[in-house]
Structure 1
Amino acid sequence: MKHMLKGALVALAISNFAQAADEKPEIKTPPMLSALEEEGGTIHDRWKINEHLNGFSLTIGMDQLIVYATADGEYVLNGSLLDKSADDLTPEFSKKYLPEPSFDGVVQKLEASKWIGTHNQKASRQLYVIHDPNCPFCKKAHESIMEHQYTAKSGVRWIPVAALGQSSLEMAAALLESKEPMKLQDDFNKGYHPSEAEITASKKNMQDVMDNTKLMKLLRISGTPAVIVVEDGTVKKIITGFQRGDILTALGV
């Protein structure tokens, strides 16, 4: 049910924006969301958008979502909600109605994950790069970051995950097994895939990759690459997607 909910996408023209904050109309929970609550989901808030549509903020597992339900509760939709000016209202609703993410214990979890260290490992600032070996934007991030391996002021710790399926799992496990993981990633960028012998030799690392992938979900990161900037033991910033300028600034180049 969770995947069905996340897979739905709606783009509606809404002219009547949400009611004033001090108004608290009675909004019933749609049957689908009630079922999600029974499965362990949490509804944080609800609000009336107009007479036809209500909004809900909720957490399902490691995912935080803004969803929309028709007033009769028959349909629940997840995705972009556009007003008459084609502005997406969902980011604003997320900021207003979802609880702030907590970074308690995150640094310890990052340090305990299975990562590959490059650049200046003695630096007070470390960039934890969550990447999938199959992800095209991760490949761009890898190339950009490795260009500055010997000049960056920050360290880099690569956390390979399997966000894109079995092939990614095999490739990420091979990276953890390799004595030259960055060279192997270069090969992956050029289309290479681990041989059967390499897959067999790296099977012991697959659980570590799966644990890394769970950590990605725990951090509410839905896509790769993602760069978590940690300085003096504190999370300073999370850069999502291939934001080259932000990444290079965090590297100190």
Structure 2
Amino acid sequence: MTNPMFRRLLQSSALASTLLAASVQAESYPEPIQALEEQGVSVVESFEAPGGMTGYVGEIQGRSLAFYLTPDGDHVIVGTLLDKDGQNLSKASIDELVTGPKFAEAWPELEESNWVRDGAEDADTIVYTFTDPNCPYCHRFREQAKPWIEAGKVQLRHIMVGILKEDSLTKAATILGSDNPEEALKEHQSRYRQGGIDVDRQKVSNAHLDVKANNQLMQKLGLQATPSTIYKTDDGKVQMVQGLPNPQAIERMFGARP
């Protein structure tokens, strides 16, 4: 049996080592970067940036951001870096170092979440999207995806959430709690402009906890808009788009228009 005093010494030593390691890591960053940390920014990774700058990616309150240390080491620029062609270099760095790994790690949680299939079971492309029944952009996204879904190329998996309006949760739970959620989702989509599916209290009772679990997953992943859509590229990298995707993003998700 370990002596209690010796065990406390070991614990104190381990704590001191942890604090020292954190202190050394913090001190290894230049002062402007340390100043950002003091404001709540968590530094994830650094990289070589154009113009002799050192780039960093980090997170604050669930939001990813990029910032750049000037060559003199005395100043930091927070924001978007564009190249001469207008390409967003900051987003590329965030996607590679933060967003991609974060959502790749979360992919199994998406698979195990409470979703409704929309499209062929054997579709080559599977895309997860957080859908609020009252979200006009979710409805427009589904309309954009229609050609790929009808061609059997894409399966959307709607992770039903209830966040936008008072009856969002009950509508989402009515869909999830139905005997056939796929048909209930189709009914809601076809009647969207008339208010969508009618709330059924028994079905809400069946599935309201599932919708709340989806809400919690969305919050955990730091997503703040619907639709929020997660997909895999041809080379297996995981990407995420918040809000209504533009036509270029649609083709990156789904492939060439059928």
Q: Indicate the TM-score class for this superposition, using the shorter chain for normalisation.
A: 0.5 to 0.7
**TM-score in terms of structure 2 length:** 0.58
Q: Which position in structure 1 is the counterpart of 2:187?
A: 183
Q: 2:44·2:98 contact (CA, 8 Å) conserved in 1?
A: no
* 3-state DSSP of counterpart to 1:128: strand
Alignment of 1:33-182 (within 5 A): 34=38, 42-44=42-44, 58-60=58-60, 62-65=62-65, 99-101=97-99, 102=101, 103-146=103-146, 148-178=148-178, 179=180, 180-182=184-186
1:242 counterpart = 2:229 = no
1:154-197 deviations in Å (ceiling 9; x for gaps):
222111122325422222112212332221233234324644xx
CA contact (8 A) 1:169 1:209 kept: yes
Aligned to 2:207: 205
1:94–1:245 Cα change, 3 Å: closer
Contact map agreement 2:148 2:254 (CA 8 A) in 1: no
Q: Which has the larger radius of gyration?
A: 2
1:52-74, Cα deviation, whole Å (9 max, x unpaired): xxxx965346433569xxxxxxx
Instruction: State the TM-score, normalizing by the size of structure 1.
Output: 0.59
How far is 1:33 from its partner? 6.7
Q: Deviations over 1:102-124 (max 9, x none)?
A: 14433311211111112121123
Runs of 4+ in 1 over 6 A off after TM superposition: none
Alignment-derived partner of residue 227 in structure 1: 229
Gaps of 5+ in 2: 1-28, 47-55, 68-77
Bigger RCO (CA 8 Å, 6+ sep): 1
Q: Tell me the SS of whatever aligns to 1:110.
A: helix
Taking structure 1 as reference, are residues 124 and 147 closer, same or farther at Cα in structure 2, changes over 3 Å only?
A: closer
Q: 1:167 to 1:58 in 2, by over 3 A?
A: farther
Q: How far, CA to CA, are the matches of 2:93 and 2:107 in structure 1?
A: 26
Distance 1:35 1:58, change over 3 A: same
Tell whether 2:31 aligns with 1:26.
yes
Identity between Structure 1 and Structure 2 (%)? 22
Q: Flag structure 1 segments of 5+ consecutive residues without an equivalent.
A: 1-23, 47-55, 68-77
> Structure 1 or 2: larger helix share?
2
